[in-house]
Amino acid sequence: MSTNSDVSSPTQTARLELPGKDPVQLPVEVGTENEHAVDISKLRSQTGYITLDNGYGNTGSCRSDITYIDGEKGILRHRGYAIEDLAASTTFIETAYMLIWGELPTADQLETMRRLLTEHELLHEGLRHHFEGFPPYGHPMAMLSAMINACSCYHPELLELEDEHHFEEATAKLLSKVRTIAAFSYRKSLGLPIVYPDPKRSYCNNFLHMMFSLPHVPYEPTREEVRALSLFLILHADHEQNCSTATVRMVGSSKANLFASVAAGVCALWGPLHGGANMRVIEMLENINAGDQSVDQVVEQVKKKEYLLWGFGHRVYKNFDPRALILKDAVDKLLEAKGIEDPLLDIAKQLESVATHDDYFLERKLYPNVDFYSGILLRAIGIPVNMFTVMFAIGRMPGWIANWYEVHKDPNGRIYRPRQVYTGPAKRPYVPLEERQ
């Protein structure tokens, strides 16, 4: 089999030769940023062949208007806006609005969104009682996923999103309640009374209040802490077709409702190769800090493939992850503002320095990803390690919602249903129970 894709030609087709078949011309689609994709959607009907792509590293599963990444150049843009600009100038709620609705909000639109978030921040009492069923040692990600799915039961009117108004309401419920659910699950794990949201506080301030206020002592985060949390959420807000977002789209493609689809996304995010890596990074740094392993020993173990360097490597970024650069700077600033030193930050920088000068990592283009420094930022705000991936989920919520809506609105949308190459036994005769050995 030989392929000859002539993507530079203005005809924009690729020619594919397959054994025993006439050559086929496959259309080449070009994205806004001049990315080229060979459209193989008619390949099987024209040739009988399918493509095989382990882990989907070369497969474009959809067209999307939401996020653009150039992994070679370390570029990340949402709806055309550079992540650096969003990080420097917006709040998480502005970024969330822009991801979901396509444009940065006007002052009036932002005010409406804030009002809706406040309106929906409480949990239905029935939903709140679900927390009683979880053991205190239950993982907050399991609770988060279960509780988001349970929202489907309490808001059946939003299962069929008939118009934009319904979608706006479902969006506000999800964005607002996820924060309440996350804080309640933390309080539950400590056996502390639940703190209700305070409508006078901003999104991030309110979350920290629900996490850390005591009945007799309201918690007042500093401006720097609130800003750092907002930045953390912005940097996690979307990342095109990552494992959890692809999951949300996959589930949504069957016409499953928004709550169910996002609950599935939470489960996908939990894995340590994805969002769960932020917990592993801190565990790794804590081990080094405790003297269990040295930086050099960790690097040697990684090179022997006995261990993964958590928070390193990325399917798409092959130069640097712009989010990691912003986070590293933000961690420095937050620690300075708080007047604290974190030994884990020194260890992380040491690890980064050793790894990024070592051939193993250079040859494989492995650099710190978003999870490498994020945990140190969260620690400085007082967020416990077992909540780190939940924090990621709160941040990713707008991206999941925007992607789900894109699938929902697509007039040409089809259920996502990949093919496979079957490698099991060929047809064989059935063996009755009494004859089996």
Binding site for ligand ACO (CB under 6 A): 55, 242, 273-275, 277, 302, 308-315, 364, 366, 369-371
Least distance in Å: CB of 370 to ligand ACO? Answer: 5
Q: How many CB atoms lie within 10 A of CB 307?
A: 15
With CA atoms as reference, report the closest residue to 132 among 150, 111, 158, 153: 150
Rounded Cα distance between 388 and 277, Å, is 9
**Shortest Å, Cβ 425 to ligand ACO:** 29
Q: Which is nearer to ligand ACO, 305 or 428 (CB)?
A: 305
8 Å CB contact between 30 and 48: no
Structure tokens at 240: 């095109």
Least distance from C-beta 362 to ligand ACO, angstroms? 11
**15 three-state secondary structure:** strand
Which whole-number Å values give the CA distances from 280 to 124, 137, 148, 167, 232, in the listed order?
A: 34, 18, 24, 35, 18
314 catalytic per annotation: yes
Closest approach of Cβ 293 to ligand ACO, in Å? 15
Q: Please, which residue, 142 or 308, has the CB nearer to ligand ACO?
A: 308
Encoded amino acid at 4, one letter: N
Q: Which residues pair with 2 in a beta bridge?
A: 17
Distance (Å, whole) CA 213 – CA 216? 8
Task: Report how far apart, in Å, the C-alpha atoms of 432 and of each of 101, 425, 426, 437 are.
Answer: 59, 18, 18, 10
CA separation for the pair 331, 324 (Å, rounded): 10
Residue with nearest beta carbon to ligand ACO: 313
**Are the C-beta atoms of residues 46 and 24 closer than 8 Å to each other?**
yes
Single-letter residue type at 263: A
Q: Which is nearer to ligand ACO, 259 or 312 (CB)?
A: 312
Which residues 6+ apart lie within 8 Å of 341 measured at CB? Answer: 335
| Angle ∠(210,214,219) on CA atoms, nearest 5 | 65
Catalytic residue, chosen from 209, 314, 321, 342, is: 314
Q: Closest approach of Cβ 68 to ligand ACO, in Å?
A: 17
The nearer residue to ligand ACO, 338 or 365, going by C-beta atoms, is: 365
CB of 393 to ligand ACO, least distance (A): 11
Catalytic residue among 238, 321, 342, 371: 371
239 is catalytic: no
* Token pair in block for residue 422: 């079957």
Quick one: 201 or 280, whose CB is closer to ligand ACO? 280
411 burial type by CB count under 10 A (0-12 exposed, 13-18 middle, 19+ buried)? exposed
Question: Looking at beta carbons only, is 198 or 358 nearer to ligand ACO?
Answer: 358
User: Active-site residue numbers?
Assistant: 314, 371
